Amino acid sequence: MTCKTVATQPFSDQKPGTSGLRKLVSVFQQPHYLENFVQAIFDSIGDFKGQTLVVGGDGRFYNRQATQIILKMAAANGFGRVKVGQGGILSTPATSAVIRKYNAFGGIILSASHNPGGPDGDFGIKYNIDNGGPAPEKVTDAIYDRSKTITEYKIVDAPDINLDILGTSTLEGMTVEVIDSVIDYAALMESLFDFDRIRQLFTTGKFRMCMDSLHAVTGSYAHAIFEQRLGAPKGTVQNGVPLEDFGGGHPDPNLVYAHDLVEVMFGENAPDFGAASDGDGDRNMILGRNFFVTPSDSLAVLAANATLVPGYRNGLAGIARSMPTSQAPDRVAAKLGIDCYETPTGWKFFGNLLDAGKATLCGEESFGTGSNHIREKDGLWAVLFWLNILAVTGKSVEELMKEHWQTYGRNYYSRHDYEAIDSDRANTLITQLRDKLPTLKGQKFGSYEVEYSDDFSYTDPIDGSVSQKQGVRIGFTDGSRIVFRLSGTGTQGATLRLYVERYEADPAKHNDDPQVALGELIAIADTIAQIKSLTGMDKPTVIT
């Protein structure tokens, strides 16, 4: 084995987004492309000589090859030990848990999350810091700056490590430990939730569940936790074998892409409870029998019932939600007498609040929920939280949700995604919207009057850092909101996200179709932003 230095030239497109660097697989397969970015990480994160790095990914196409490259570069750059998931697989929440449990210096996660996989699909890489959470902007900015000037990278010339056999080996003086992908994560879940109570729920024969892992990373975790440890019948987990192309599907747990689960839960003789997770295991969708729970409502319900769960029996320090997420959790926080923080989109913004003990539960409308147990959103954690609440209350998902609305009122809420828009068209739309903001206050659109309009800016209450232009907000005098954002998680064109929200206090009006209840606001959004004309799209790609 020899350590060699390879000459290279910078790539101009390696700026990390909200969840790392995501590109088509073919982009990452270019000579030096992945190596450049990995070296830029190592050059930007400080003194890690002799320290431990955690490496894992969601198992998508190119995961194994990329893992081998990272191992050889970590050895050449001076890490003392790497813990890598068996087969190169480690879910994003499990990676965070392993970083925290073993006091690792940081971790590299290979995933494009909910984006499609396969040779023609997407790939991604991101760096997580020692608290287990995504690198903050000051770190990702430093990585990007380094990527623009890089001239060489270091790598060990050595045979590949056998990633399929548990145990340790040595690579140029660095210890490589292939670890069981599930054990540490499952133990953490058992410390938080009442597994005995949940097991009783499954073994009575009166409760059925369908867990759809979408042929993504949580298949192994779901089989081990639900079917083996908790006694759910075999077959509870569907699409549970992780595949490099996710079985040709789109591993995004929403009503459109998780269609197999939706058909089961809205079909005849539907199970009592349904859930899905995404490519890397950090997102979740919750369904009851013929009933969909929005992610915003899910966060609110978990917060309202948190003391029923062992890990949260002492109550919550606070709640944090991303700005586009509905204000349903705010109402729970107000009743509990705790703070509810509004942050930009991106889990990294929750990290400081969690580390400072300001928040216990966090959530995003994009099907991400989590807590202070790690520093990532966590799909299976959310599913177990719901199961624990159902086991204690004996109520159905629909009963629990409707009782919540009776107590707190209902925040009608919907997100419309316009995907793969021409980037110039999308930027024109947002630019024109921003230009209109100073003129909107006081204007009336149908039965709504604009109370405020701005481009959301966030000052971190812990470190004072400022993040600007985080989403265009238009608020109305009755508390309703319209929010527009361009997403940073896609790899082709641009995705426009429209968020629409209206509060309804009257229980007699809690059973409307959200698209009907929000119909006038949706039309107003198109009037103000000219969505159809500027995107060239008659309707959204996905509605949730």
DSSP of 221-273, one letter per residue? HHIIIIIIIS-PPTTSEES-S--TTGGGS----STTT-HHHHHHHTSTT--SE
- 344 near 471, Cβ under 8 Å? yes
Among 44, 111, 113, 213, the active-site one is: 113
Q: What is the dihedral of CA 373, 377, 378, 384, to 10 degrees?
A: 70
Catalytic residue list contains 113? yes
Are the C-beta atoms of 107 and 53 separated by less than 8 Å?
A: yes
Which H/E stretch holds residue 340? strand 339-343
- What number of helices (H) and strands (E) belong to the chain? 18, 27
Looking at 107-211, list the stretches that DSSP marks H as alpha helix, in order from N- to C-terminal side: 137-147, 183-192, 195-203
- Rounded CA separation 340/361 (Å): 10
CA distance 5 to 7: 7
- DSSP per-residue codes, 66-124: HHHHHHHHHHHHT-SEEEEEEEEE--HHHHHHHHHHTT-SEEEEE--TTS--STTSEEE
Burial 62-88 (b: 16+ CB within 10 A, else e): bbbebbbebbbbbbbbbbbbbbbbbbb
Q: Among all residues, which ones are annotated catalytic? A: 113
